[in-house]
Every structure is written in structure tokens, then in C-alpha cells.
Structure 1
Amino acid sequence: MRSAASGERTGTGKSPAFSSRRTLFKALGPLLAAYSLASLGSYIFDIGIIVELYRRTGSPAAVGGYFIIQFLPALLLTPALGTFIDRWSRKRILLWTNLARALTVGVLLIHLSVETIYAAAVLLGICDEIYAATANAIGPELAGPEDLPRFNSLLSASDSINLIAGPAIAGLCVSLGGTRASIGADAAVFALAALLVLLMPYRTPRKAAEAAGFLDEMKEGLRIVSGEPVVQKMLLVWGLLLAGVGSTGSLIVVFIGGTMGLPAEKYGWVMAFQGAGIITGSVWIMSRKKAPRPGRLILLGMTLIGVGLLAVSAAGTLAVLLGAYLLIGLGAAAAPNGIRSTLQSELDPGVLGRVFITARFVVNTVRTLSIGAASLIAGITGLRVVFAAAALCVLLGGSAAYVMGRRAGKAEESGINVIGKN
């Protein structure tokens, strides 16, 4: 039995278990298509608008401020946003979020300035947090527990494809029609994503009891996040993962050019191999007749990422570096998938909005702090030590996940309540 929480949703029966991948794609197709388009739109907008912002200001600080101002509203509104996702129809949230994105971007076609770019960054930052958390929270209401790893793999593969395609499309739009062409294309993509949401076979579940007040549900969400063992343990594992990956992600360009003495342009190849690893790993998970257990995905993913980062720390040639990032990509397809699937399967769907919005806040904060710490340490010890330390951090997270999984298994065999369950 899943963890009880206020706002438990009922009325639609159990989540469907799909007997074939064709049925799974048919049920989730509109959501996945809308998610893919919205993800592509975000990449197109960020790249095109960063070019425009730098052209207007000539200031790297102005570009950095754009990303900071996107994050701050979500930081301040995290409890309220999570409650909003759990309280209202998630299909309508996805619909109106995409429409809000399209309108926000469309305003820039009318008046494009540094001020309106920053204002758009605030609104889009809020929309991005709501949309990503809602997409994760709605999964268990559309797919059965055994299909959750496949569902999460589809989202991961979509992001990876857009990571590769987004810059190319944005660059093409800017080169052919300037920044306004990129903005116009982006607004159209968000509008189309909103239309696709309407095709989702989703009915808003009824709550088991009379709805509590908004503030009461917000407090309940904070209690679940701070007091539910499965949430705490997954946040620990996710935090260690992001501390390792986040601390090195922004330094790989410096590592390539400064430490290895290779042309900085090789960074594109490194990211391409990582993206290929994520896509390959996601396809492997989706192609399995029986989806791997979330706990095994976490252990496999953390191990591959840890080994990959260790290989980077010792890399002396481009071939070794590319192979290492292929491993990191394979691991990145597995570990976050296992973490999300664990939360989705162990917790009631009615609280997932609050859980995922808080999880995104925690891991993004850890990533930001780890980037700052790694940048300072790199000046003292060198980047190879930073990558080795990051690898140990990720492997520690994998070990923690393994130990917690073993304890949960023994408790289940002994008839003791398992974490996150009654």
C-alpha cells in the first residue's frame, strides 16, 4: 500500500498496466509528444535569447544573471508550486503552462529589450519548474508501476535528443531570420505542445476526502518531504549524484583545453557522446521485455557514472575521454530514472507534485553549490583531482542506494514495514 497523505487521489482505479509497448505509446503518446516539443522549445529559446542578450549588453554577467533570475522565483515559490500541482488537474496545468510560455515568448516579438528578456526569464522559470514536476507526477496516473521505468526513459531520451537538436535549430533560425525568427518559432512550438496536451487520455481523479485548504496541503507536503524516509533517502542519493555530475559539468571545457591540451571545440564531440549514451541507455530500458527494477537502475547508473568520471580524471587521449562520457551517458539514462521510478511507485500520486518540485529545488541547489566549490578547489588541486573526487561522490551515492535497498529487502522478507509504505 502506498504512503497515505492528504489529498490522496482515487476514482479511476489502479494505474493501467500496459501489456505491450504499442499500447504504452498509444496511451502516453500525446504527453510524450507535448513534452518533447516543450523541451525543444526551451532549448531553442535559451540559445537564441542568450545570443541576443550578449549582443545587446556585451556582458557575461548579464548572461549569467539570466540563468540566476530563472531559478530564483522557483526557489521562493517551491512549496506553493508543489501544492498547486497536486491540487488541480495536471492535464490543465500542462495545457495552461504551455500556453503561458507561448504568450510570454510572443510578447518579445512585440517588444524585445533587456528588461523584457529578464521579465520573460522569470515567468518561463516558473513555468519550467511547474511543467517538469507535473510531467513526472502525472506518470503513475497514465502508466502502471512496471511501465514507469519505460515512461521515464522516454522523457530522458526526449531531453537528450533535444539537447543535440535544439542548438542546431536555434542556430539555423538565428542565421536565417535573426533572433525574432527564433522567438517566433519558439512561440509556435509551445502553442503546438499545448494542443497536443488536449489529446491526452486523462481524466482528473477525484480526491478520497473533501479537499483540505491550500495552506493545509502545503504544510502536509512539507511534512511528507521532510519526514517520509523514501523521499529523504532518494534525495540523498540524487544529491550525491548531482554533486558529482554538477561539479564537473561546467569544467569539462576547461579540462579539455587546459588539462588535456586539446582544442576546446572538442567539447561538442564530448557532449554528443554523452547524449548518445543517454539515448542508447534509454532505448535499452524501453526495449526490455520486463523493465528493470528501479533499485537496480540506480546502482547500475551510479556505478557507470562513477567509473566514467574516474576514467575522465585519468584520460590522456580524446578516445578515452569520449569513451568515458559514453559511460557517463549510459549511467545518466539509468540512475535518475531509477530515482524517479522509486518515488513514483512508492508514494501516492496525490503528493508527487510537491515531492518532485521540492526534489528539483534540492538537486538544483546542490548542483549550483557544487559548481562553485569545484571551481575553487580546481585552482588549488587541479581538475584531475576534482573529477576523481566527483567520481567518489557518485560511487558513494551508489553504495548508499545499495545498502538501503538491501535493508529494505530484508525488512520486507521479515514482514517489517518497508520505507514509504504502510
Structure 2
Amino acid sequence: MPKYEQPAGLPPRLLSDAAMIRACQERDFSKIFELAKSRGGFYPSRIARHCDMTPSRVSEVLSGRRAIKDMSVIERVSDGLRIPGHMLGLARRAWETPPALTGRPAAAPSVLMASDVERSEPVSALPSVDLDSILAVAAGPQLSPSMLRALHSSIEDYWRRDDEHGGEALRPAVVGQLRYVVGLIKEAPEGEFRRSLYGIAAELARLTGWTYFDARQYSQARVYFAEALQLAKAVEDHQFMANVLSCMSLQGTYEDRPADAVALSTAAQDSARKRLGTPRVMAMLSMREAFAHASMNNGRATHAAIAEAHRQFERISSADPDPAWVTYFDEPKLIVDTGIARARLGESAAAEPLIADALRREPVSNHRGRAFHTFWLATAQLQQGKVERACHTATTALESATGVGSERITGHLREFHQLLTPFSNEPAAVAFEAQLRAMLH
């Protein structure tokens, strides 16, 4: 077995220094970078390389002209400089435990082994082997059309419950089923059943990645998205590969990686075209491209992508062989996403009626979607100076968010609170802050 070596990072003597400990507790990254430079030998270019940032951004942080608040960037700094998670208020990082203690081999796992052990759970948390499991193993996989239908039905149910309550509580069940399906693949003979199982495993891996993304645990999300991509590629399901790439593009907009988001959205469309992606699929992918361009504040490219999304949507026919995973992209979703993309560009007067119209048609049961879209409606209203109305709308988002375990929604509401800073003395802003604090505590 190869010897485990801790990847190079800040020296232990610096991590145990009182000044560094205090800077980490306060998340004072200007001070952290200054100490890394002066006492750890990490100059700006090296910090940038290790933390996947641009040298100019590192210089801005060093000079105090820019702060780091996004959780994904904080995670990249922790991982890049090897600052233990607890010092920055994060969960224990994956690299803090030697592979020998995690029960995983040091080498990268194969596609089929990637889900055998849940990455964020201790081995002791895995379910015990009960009698039913032993008998199921002894009997061997009973592959049949009804089994495939049952697995597809469970995935649909997972997504419904994810929309209603968030994915945090669902994740153990989803990962357990992913392990089960991966086991079936190993046992199944070559043929259509095996191909179908690959597709089901890919969907379960994507769903797991999505639950991590919604929890803003981006490193874990990326692992599962990559696994879903590999599973779909194994059976040349290019449309589903496009779906996974579009999820990774959306994550790129959250991780402050807009160039990556654009590249991934373009790759998604290229992949879908290899199998003549349906108009609904192409419309959804074009809208993800619009989000990516909007995160770069590229108005011209954003509007071009929006126009393409609408053009593709108009071509939709009831005879189209749409995959099940894209049926959610209906007219209200097209409208609300158009509004969000325009709100990202600051075109709030045009965005507000679009988002409001879509919200009126959105199912009441989709708590997370309603909270997310209501946040963007409040943001568009605040951009126009409608402080009282925006706070009232944001309070509605708070009410929807209380029934959903979604750190992504909570993060957006914190962002809205920061946008309220210039109006902090307004009664509506004071009332919203009180309600937000009550929700978070």
C-alpha cells in the first residue's frame, strides 16, 4: 500500500499561530493571505494556483479591496492551503483523514465503485446487513420490466419530495439505492436491462449530486455529477450527459466560475445535438447558457441565449420523445428563468412581471422552487427601489423556505439581507431582518 502523504499546504507552525487562528475565526482572508505570504512562502501567484483563483483577485483580497464570502470559495481556500475545516467553520475536509482510515483505496475508484461508500458518511453510519439483504444476494438479481418501472418510479418520487422538502433527508435513501443499482449492474448480463440500469444509476448519481449542490457542498456535488457523467457515457446517453453538464454549469455560476459555467453549458448543448436533442431539451440547455452569460454580466450573449431558448420552446410538439428528466421545463419555468436571467443583468423592470407571472402559475407544493423564485422577485423589486414591497416579498420567500432544507435558499436570503444594508433603518427592512434571524436560529 502506498504511503499516505499530506498534500503540501501551510506549515503546521503557522496554522497553530494565534494570529492565523484568529484570522480564520473571523474569516479575515486578507490577513490569512498576508500570513500565508509572509510566513508560509505562499506568494499571490501560488495562492491563486492552489485555490483556483486569479492572481488579480488574490491581490484584491490581500489589499482589502475584495472580501471572500461565498462558501464555495471559502472551501477552495481551505482545500488549497490545507487549512483544517474547523478553523474556518467548515465541516471536516475530505483530505484531513488519511485514506487508510476511510476504508477507501488510495487509487481513484472505477465508475462502478465510485458509489460503493458514501463520501461524507462514516462507515459506522452505513446500514447493517439484514436477513432480507442476505436472501436477496443469495437469490441473485431478479431483473424484469417491473423492476425497472419500480426504480424509475422511486426516482420520480425522490424528485417530488426534493422539490417539497429539500434533499438533505433523502440523500441516505438515494445513495443506498444507487449502491443497490450499481450492484445490479455488476451482476446483469450484457443487453438492454444492463443498459437501462446504467441510466437509472446515472440519474441517482445526478440526484445525489443535486442534493449536495442544494446544500452548497460543491466539492461533493462535483464528485457525484462526474460519476453520473461517466455512467451516462458508458451507454452513450448523450442527452443525459448534456443534462449533467447543465447541472455542473449551474453550479459554476454559484461557485464564481462564470467562464467554466459558459464552457459547460456549451458542452451540454454539443452533447445533446449528438442525439438530436428534443426542442424542450435544447430550450432548457439554452437557458442554462443564459444564466452562465448573465453571471459574467454579458448582456448581449445572455439575450441571444434567451432568444434561442424561446425559439426552441416554440418548436415543442406533443410527439417529441422528451426524456422524463426534462418534462419539468414547462412554460412557467421558461418564463421564470427568463426573468431570473434578466434580473441577474440588473434589468429589474423587465424581470419583475415575468417572475411574478410564473409564480402565480407555479404549484404550491414546490416549496423550494417558490422560495427560490420569490427571492428573485424580491431582488428585482429591490433593484427598483421598492423597499417595502421587496421586503414583503422576501418574507413570503422566508415562509416557503421554512419547510425546505435548502442551504442554497438560505444563502440567497442572506444575500437579500446584505442588499438591504443601505435601507437598514427602514421599518420593513428591520422587520425582515428579525424574521430572518428567527429562521436561522
TM-score (norm 1): 0.30
Larger helix proportion of the pair? 1
Pick 1 or 2: higher relative contact order, CA cutoff 8 A, min separation 6. Answer: 1
Q: Which of 1 and 2 has greater Rg?
A: 2
- TM-score normalized with structure 2 length: 0.29
